[in-house]
Structure 1
């Protein structure tokens, strides 16, 4: 117990500068790995065409939402990629890979604008990474993420409605301490990896619902997401690999440009407006997920009974 307590004390003494250095080092490691893979590839790895800028626009739009609201990068980018004809497997792997770079820039931007509660960040990162690694392993080897998505979405609609109500009522209750942050981060990381998205909606929504400032919540959850995504992506790359560099590079370029803008908006938007917008985004993305699930199920039944 004494050793654990000493480790916790050391972790909570980590500075913003050390957090920023850790983000940069991990990003450089991943870049080095990609250079190694590309150097060993045969043929033309990058094949650009007119759709490349569509992927850049998707990355910009998705990261702008995520940086400003602390959620919905996976949901928005996956939905748009599928709409433009990218196969689901490639879309999911591409989004997770690109997210490492975009969340890294977003996290550094939130550090710059002081949108972060450092103690809460430490409490989220470790259990979140454990959950994300477990979820990535289950999805790669055992489970199918689509099975659990509708249940998560139904829960998020209820949670989004509560947040929206609080924003309209405009009587937020401030709490100094977020309860069960570690457990929340574990399940957020687990379900995000299994369901292809959900860290932001699950963790951000719950923490804001407890009364934490939306600005600090968004900045902290967004920065923690880098570490969760980094380790989950490592598992995905080991088991699944990545096939489409055109999609990944487009998402990265668009997201990197949008990340500082999103962080700036999060530091400037009115608290009540953030409550309302976060609530609406959670409800909308969760509703779209349920609609897509029902549509796919109806289509499957129609084919079976044709």
Structure 2
């Protein structure tokens, strides 16, 4: 009879689950708080007949679905897509940004949890960008609410992103995207990404994701990490918006939330399966196209 003792290895997924559980727990806790608050606001709006569920409401659901599908898979474009839609309907930039960030609390939370589920998170990179990202977004929300016009700096950001997107495509074609990543400037990058995202109604993904990819980070891990950090960035920016502006256009927010929540797990799954080089080319192309479109709209006004 053999008396061999077999070594028992802890499964890798279990180890990862234990490491990531504080992030998951905090996301869930913050989501419960905000869901309770907006549930109360929705009940009040329905009772006062101040929320409108007409045919336009379903257009917001579709907009939220496709915007989050792109954002979850490529790490960007939710804010840009939704903000463009709201501005086209005559909503002011500050209220458009507030509405988009409010809806993103729900969509980015589901997206972040989905990316964690599909092992798309770089924990070290996450902690390097989340704190300064929150600081930048909170400051940007305050500045936009009270002091500055976000439209003034948009053209300069768009021009920068056109060149950055072109560089990403070049990098994907000419080099191996699995180069040694650089994290030295990630906190500063997140600070400016959060600041410009709040001021411009979108930009966290194009600015942070694109720059990190250009520094050699793995596309799948970068997209998952930036999307997960975006929940916290959006959450605290929205708190500032609510404190200064209150909650407006609840029907628009609800439509974007429903569509975005449905699409978030799909986007995260796509990001976990697509080839890194292909993913980088898609991100670069999306950055160039959305930035050029933004410039065209600016100059046509």
Shorter-chain TM-score above 0.5: yes
The aligned residue for residue 14 of structure 2 is none
The aligned residue for residue 212 of structure 1 is 217
1:20 to 18, 21, 24: 24
- Note the C-alpha offset of 1:116: 0.5
Instruction: Work out whether residues 97 and 202 of structure 2, in 8 Å CA contact, stay in contact via their aligned partners in 1.
Output: no
Deviations 1:92-134 (A, max 9, x none): 3221110010000000000000000001101111011011111
Instruction: Work out whether residues 38 and 45 of structure 1, in 8 Å CA contact, stay in contact via their aligned partners in 2.
Output: no
- Note the C-alpha offset of 1:86: 4.9
Secondary structure of 1:37's counterpart equals: helix
Q: Which moved more, 1:283-292 or 1:219-228?
A: 283-292
1:181 aligns to 2:186 (yes or no): yes
- Note the C-alpha offset of 1:33: 1.8
Structure 1 unaligned segments of length 5 or more: list them.
1-13, 297-306
1:265 aligns to 2:266 (yes or no): no
The aligned residue for residue 140 of structure 2 is 135
- Note the C-alpha offset of 1:82: 3.5
The aligned residue for residue 300 of structure 1 is none
Moved over 6 A (4+): none
Determine the C-alpha separation between the residues in 2 that align with 1:182 and 1:43.
44
Deviations 1:227-286 (A, max 9, x none): 000000000111112321211111000000100000000000111111111001111111
1:275 aligns to 2:280 (yes or no): yes
Deviations 1:200-247 (A, max 9, x none): 000000000001100000000000000000000000111112321211
Paired residues for 1:78-227 under 5 Å: 78-83=83-88, 85-89=89-93, 90-172=95-177, 174-227=179-232
TM-score, normalised by the number of residues in structure 1 = 0.88
Q: Which moved more, 1:112-121 or 1:14-23?
A: 14-23
- Note the C-alpha offset of 1:159: 0.8
TM-score, normalised by the number of residues in structure 2 = 0.90
Q: What RMSD, in angstroms, separates the aligned Cα atoms of the two structures?
A: 1.5
Structure 2 unaligned segments of length 5 or more: list them.
1-17
1:238 aligns to 2:243 (yes or no): yes
1:33 aligns to 2:54 (yes or no): no
Determine the C-alpha separation between the residues in 1 that align with 2:293 and 2:159.
11
Instruction: Work out whether residues 177 and 216 of structure 2, in 8 Å CA contact, stay in contact via their aligned partners in 1.
Output: yes
Determine the C-alpha separation between the residues in 2 that align with 1:46 and 1:195.
26
Determine the C-alpha separation between the residues in 2 that align with 1:186 and 1:73.
19
